[in-house]
Amino acid sequence: MRRVLLSLIVALSCSILLPPGLAGLAGQTPWLDSYRPIAARLLAESQSSDFAWRRLAELTDTFGNRLSGSDTLEKAIDWAVTEMKRDGLENVHKEPVMVPKWVRGHESLELLAPVHQPLVLLGLGNSIATPPAGIEGDVVVVKSYDDLTAHAKDVNGRIVLLNVPFTTYGETRPFRTDGTSRAAKLGATAFLLRSVGPPGLRTAHTGAMTYANDAPKIPAAAIPTEDADRLQRLADRGVRPRVRLMMDAHFEPDAPSANVVGELVGRELPRDVLVLGGHIDSWDVGAGATDDGGGCIVTWEALRLMKKLNLRPRRTVRVVLFTNEENGTRGGNGYRDAHKAELGNHVLLLESDGGVFEPAGFGFTFDPAKSGSPAAAERARQTVASVASLLGAIGADHVTDGGEGTDIEPASTAGNVPMMSHLDTGDYFLIHHTPADTIARITPAQVSKNAAAIAVMIYTLADLPFRLGRE
Ligand SMILES: [Zn+2]
C-alpha cells in the first residue's frame, strides 16, 4: 500500500520540479563538486551488473508472497538477515514486533442471475467470513456514495457493489477502506468493490479495509473492473444481478515478526543516522515484487554498493526492512518505539514503496512548523535538489514536495524527522495488490537505476559537511 504517491507523480509530470533559479544553484554549492566523482562511481557500479534484480528475483521466487503472520514472511526475514551479513553490512539484526494474522482461506463469487457463472474476486484484508453456505443476494450497483444514499431504500437485505472508477490511489483508496461500513449501515448483507486500480486483465486488487464501530460487520471483497462494469451494465438495463459470495476469511492470534536492520556505521558522526527502507511484508497474492520487495532491495542495495566501493559516509546509514506495512503498521510503530531515545539523531527517513520502475526523483517533506523556520526548510529542500542534480543522467533529478511513507511516518512524527519518498513512473497501480505483482514487470536496468539514485542521494546527504536541515 502506498498513499498519495501517484498524485505526486502527476504533480511531478506537470509542475513542480526545481524552484526558480535552483537549476543554477549547483554552481553556487561548493560542496557538491566533491560528490560528483563518487556519484559517478555509484552509478557505474550499479549499472554494471544485474545483482539487485537477481536478488529481487531470489526473494520473490523463493518465498513468494509474504503476508503478516505467514511462514514465508518470517523465512524471507531470516534470509535477509543472512544475506545482509554476507554483504558485510554492520549491526545486522532483527527487531521483534507482534503482527496481526489475517487468513484469507477459500473464497468464491458466483453470478446466479441472469446466468450462472463464476466471477473473479479477492476478499479485502481484515474482512470477516460469510456463513459456510455463503451469502446469496441481489446486487445493488452504485457509482458513488451519493448514489448509495440515493439507493438507500433498495440496499437493505441486498449486496452492494460500489463501482467507483480509479482516479488516483489517494482519491480512490478510501472507498476500499470505508465503503463496507457505509453499505452495512443501510442494511447491506455483503459489500463488493470495484478494484482500486486502472483497468487491467480482469484482475482483482485486494487491500486493507476497516470496520466502523457503529456499523454491523459484513464480508467485503473486490472484483475486477471488467466484472464491475458488467454488473453495472446489467443494472442499467434493468436486470437485477444475483450473486453468491463465499469467504472463509478470519483472524488468528497475533504472530511474532520483526523488522530487519543493517548499517554502515558513520566514519565521523556514527550517532547521526539516515534511515532508508521498504516493507518486506506483502499481500497474500502475487509475489510482492513491486509492493514492496523492490523497495526493500533497492534501499538495501544502496548500502551494498557503498560497502563494495569502500564508501563510508560521515554519518551512519541504516537500512530497515519493515514488517506489517499492509495491514497493521506494527513494523513502523515498532521502529519508532525501539529507537525513541535516538530519534533526535535521525537526520532523514527515506521509504521506497512506489515501485522500482523508471526512476523519477524524490519527494521531500520537512515541515517548516517543526523545523524552526520556513527558511530552514527551504534550505534543506535546496540541498536535496542540489544532490538530485547529480542524477540527471538517469532521470532521477526531480524533487517534489510530499516525501512520505507509511513505515517512516511514526518515527518522523515522533522525532520531527524529514521524510523522503523514492519516486518512479510505471505500472505500479496496475499490478499493486494483485496476483500480477511479479518481477516479470520489472527490468534489471530499472532496479539498478533506482538503487543508484538512492545510493547517491543517501550517501551524499549522509556525508555532507553540515547536517541536513541545519544548513
Ligand atoms: Zn507497499
pLDDT value of position 46: 98
What per-residue string of b and e applies to 270-297 under the rule 16 or more CB within 10 Å gives b?
eebbbbbbbbbbbbbbbbbbbbbbbbbb
95 pLDDT more than 70: yes
Instruction: Provide the whole-model pTM.
Output: 0.93
Q: What is the pLDDT of residues 385-422, one digit of tens each?
A: 999 999 999 999 999 999 999 999 999 999 999 999 99
Ligand 1 centroid to 290 CA: how many Å?
Answer: 8
Q: Which residues contact 128 (CB under 8 A, 6 or more apart)?
A: 217, 218, 219, 247, 249, 250
Ligand 1 centroid to 36 CA: how many Å?
Answer: 32
Ligand 1 centroid to 303 CA: how many Å?
Answer: 21
pLDDT, the chain, mean = 94
Gap between the Cα atoms of 69 and 255, Å rounded? 5
- By the CB criterion, residues less than 5 angstroms from ion ligand 1 are 1, 291-292, 353
What per-residue string of b and e applies to 89-124 under the rule 16 or more CB within 10 Å gives b?
beebebbebbbbbbebeebbbbbeeeeeeebbbbbb
Ligand 1 centroid to 17 CA: how many Å?
Answer: 25
Which grid coordinates belong to 353? 514503496
DSSP characters over 152-202: HHHHTTSEEEE-PPPS-HHHHHHHHHHHHHHHHHTT-SEEEEE-SS---SS
- Using CA atoms, how far residue 125 sits from 67, 98, 213, 369, 464, in Å, is 10, 18, 17, 36, 43
Q: What is the pLDDT of residues 431-456, one digit of tens each?
A: 999 999 999 999 999 999 999 999 99
pLDDT value of position 28: 66
Ligand 1 centroid to 326 CA: how many Å?
Answer: 6
Q: Which residue has the cell 538477515?
A: 81
Gap between the Cα atoms of 423 and 388, Å rounded? 12
Instruction: Just list the catalytic residues.
Output: 325
pLDDT value of position 370: 72
DSSP characters over 416-455: T--EEEEEEESSHHHHTTSTT-SGGG--HHHHHHHHHHHH
Q: What is the pLDDT of residues 244-301, one digit of tens each?
A: 999 999 999 999 999 999 999 999 999 999 999 999 999 999 999 999 999 999 999 9
SS3 content of the chain, % helix, strand, coil (to 5): 40, 25, 35
